[in-house]
Amino acid sequence: MTEPKNGATRRDFLKTTGAVAAASTLAGVTIPSVHAAGSDIINIALVGCGGRGTGAASNALSAKGGPLKLVAMADVFKDRLDSSLDTLKAEHAAKIDVPDDHKFIGFDGYKKAIQTVGPGGIVMLTTPPAFRWVQFAYAIEKGVNTFMEKPVTVDGPSTRKMLALSDLASEKGLKVGVGLMCRHCVVRGELFKRIQDGEIGDIVLLRAYRQTGPVGFTPVEPKPEGISELMYQIQRFHGFLWASGGCYSDFLIHNIDECCWMKNEWPTKATGTGARTYRDNAIDQNFDTYSVEYAFDDGAQFLLEGRNIAGCKQEFASFVHGTKGSAIISQSGHSPAKSRIFKGQKMTKDQVVWSGPKTEPDPYQLEWNDLLAAIRDDKPYNEVPRGAAASLVTSMGRMAAHTGQVVTYDEMLNCKHEFAPTVDQLVIDGPAPLQIDPKLGHYPYPQPGVVVDREY
């Protein structure tokens, strides 16, 4: 791919991020509080009632920061909503007031849920990422604070939309959290400070691995009878790039984000490879293996390995290497981090010079404590610019692997291929954004070296 002649650039993006922060600060001073500080109840709504949404709601209802009440829920699947509500009632019965007329089924359910909480409330957006910008726009219009799951975008056009919405949210003084909870980890935060203070010298290499068996709703087998194409793709959203960015975006983003955090920089370009291997009758768009190399401005490299194949060695960890030493960012998933610093490149017990405490606060809980504190105290709080950058860098690596080309940050930001440009117009009985190729008998999937200017 070639450098864009026009359009946004990585440098512009960083300037925009700074401008958004400044706008947030101004908004906090000049705009009346979107929710009065004190002990009054904050109403919350859950939009997207799957496992992650249910977990996020439980974290919210467990958070410090004054009383909250879940008053509305929305999903396109009634059974999913009912199951989520039953789970939450078992854990937080006193904090739940969701009568039947506050259970909203359908693609417009998010509007009704947001209207129910009203200005100053919180909506949790935990649907497949494709719907994020649509629902966020409505929350801003109604003056509702937002917590949204990662990734917040799945391609260049949706990233540009999200950044524009972020500016608007800051101008209105709304508070927005993004579910990259590792950024709220106390131990990772201490490691970041030590790295920035020079304890391991200049960073020259980062490595990250998420090598597991099949994850999420993959692999996707042919659609059974009794469900529409659109509803099946939403139900199995990890298998479809338009809905989620695929397994690469939805799962590898955490490793990518925590490594870029330690580098305190976003990479400028990516190269990558990947392959479809043991597919059987699977028809989704994912590769089973990904190997991506990100490059930073100063020449440092970030190597990322992803694999979703049963029976192979498993590893879920991130590492950083400097000119004076090395460190473990995380070693066994998201939490606990088990971060450590070593005096050389050999990561053994006898080389440890610093390690985090044995007991670590849950970052899933901390991100909610932080968001609620900002709402109660009316402090500037908008994680969307950072969340959008992490999502874009993730898409950049995914596109590099799917096309077999070098993809730069600026190219990804200005990429014209929008996976689902009409996502805001979907209806229950309508067509899906992706259709099976009748000649091939499966959905279009990436063909590196053949299709090079888009992912399918």
The answer to whether residue 442 is domain-embedded is no
Residues 242, 287: one domain? Answer: yes
Q: What is the pLDDT of residues 209-246, one digit of tens each?
A: 999 999 888 899 999 999 999 999 999 999 999 999 99
Cβ pair 406, 218 in contact under 8 A: no
Number of domains, the chain? 2
Mean pLDDT (the chain) is 92
> Which residues, 6+ apart, have CB-to-CB distance to 265 below 8 Å?
296, 297
Q: What is the pLDDT of residues 325-372, one digit of tens each?
A: 999 999 989 999 999 999 999 999 999 999 999 999 999 999 999 999
CATH number of 347's domain: 3.30.360.10
Residues 291, 207: one domain? Answer: yes
Cβ pair 254, 182 in contact under 8 A: yes
The predicted model gives 126-148 an average pLDDT of 98
Tell me the C-alpha distance between 341 and 319, whole Å: 10
Q: In this model, does residue 207 exceed pLDDT 50? A: yes
Q: In this model, does residue 1 exceed pLDDT 70? A: no
Residue 27 confidence class, pLDDT cut points 50, 70, 90: very low
Residues 32, 174: one domain? Answer: yes
Reading the block at residue 216, the tokens are: 């999420």
Residue 26 confidence class, pLDDT cut points 50, 70, 90: very low
Q: In this model, does residue 21 exceed pLDDT 50? A: no
Residue 437 confidence class, pLDDT cut points 50, 70, 90: confident
Residues 340, 251: one domain? Answer: yes
Q: In this model, does residue 440 exceed pLDDT 90? A: no
Q: Cα 270 to the chain's mean position, in Å?
A: 19
Residue 2 confidence class, pLDDT cut points 50, 70, 90: very low
Residue ending a domain, choose from 384, 419, 434: 384
Q: In this model, does residue 143 exceed pLDDT 70? A: yes
Residues 214, 89: one domain? Answer: no
> Which residues, 6+ apart, have CB-to-CB distance to 11 below 8 Å?
none
Cis omega (within 30 of 0) for bond into 214: no
pLDDT score, position 408: 98
- Angle at which helix 51-62 crosses helix 78-92, to 10 degrees, equals 30
Token look-up 């460190």 returns 327
Residues 370, 262: one domain? Answer: no
Residues 134, 41: one domain? Answer: yes
The answer to whether residue 444 is domain-embedded is no
Residues 155, 302: one domain? Answer: no
Residues 226, 374: one domain? Answer: no
Q: In this model, does residue 415 exceed pLDDT 90? A: yes
Residues 273, 143: one domain? Answer: no
Q: Three-state secondary structure along 378-411? A: CCCCECHHHHHHHHHHHHHHHHHHHHCCCEEHHH
- Which of 168, 261, 167, 248 lies closest to 212, judged by CA? 248
The answer to whether residue 436 is domain-embedded is no
CATH number of 106's domain: 3.40.50.720
Residues 291, 191: one domain? Answer: yes
Q: In this model, does residue 281 exceed pLDDT 90? A: no
Q: In this model, does residue 79 exceed pLDDT 80? A: yes
Residue 7 confidence class, pLDDT cut points 50, 70, 90: low
pLDDT score, position 11: 64
Mean pLDDT is lowest, of 163-167, 246-250, 435-439, for 435-439
The answer to whether residue 415 is domain-embedded is no
The answer to whether residue 401 is domain-embedded is yes
Q: In this model, does residue 288 exceed pLDDT 90? A: yes
pLDDT score, position 14: 57
Q: What is the pLDDT of residues 241-277, one digit of tens each?
A: 999 999 999 999 999 999 999 999 999 999 999 999 9
The answer to whether residue 167 is domain-embedded is yes
pLDDT score, position 8: 73
pTM comes to 0.92
Residues 242, 175: one domain? Answer: no
Tally Cβ neighbours within 10 Å of residue 452.
14
pLDDT score, position 80: 98
The answer to whether residue 454 is domain-embedded is no
The predicted model gives 387-404 an average pLDDT of 98
Q: In this model, does residue 53 exceed pLDDT 50? A: yes
Report which DSSP code applies to 331: S
Tell me the C-alpha distance between 216 and 238, whole Å: 6
pLDDT score, position 279: 80
The answer to whether residue 432 is domain-embedded is no
Residue 20 confidence class, pLDDT cut points 50, 70, 90: very low
- Which of 67, 134, 125, 128 lies closest to 96, judged by CA? 67
pLDDT above 70 coverage of the chain, percent: 92
Question: Which residue segment(s) compose the domain that 26 sits in?
Answer: 10-182+365-384
Mean pLDDT is lowest, of 18-27, 32-41, 313-322, 405-414, for 18-27
Cβ pair 98, 73 in contact under 8 A: yes
Sign of the torsion angle spanned by Cα atoms 78, 79, 82, 87: negative
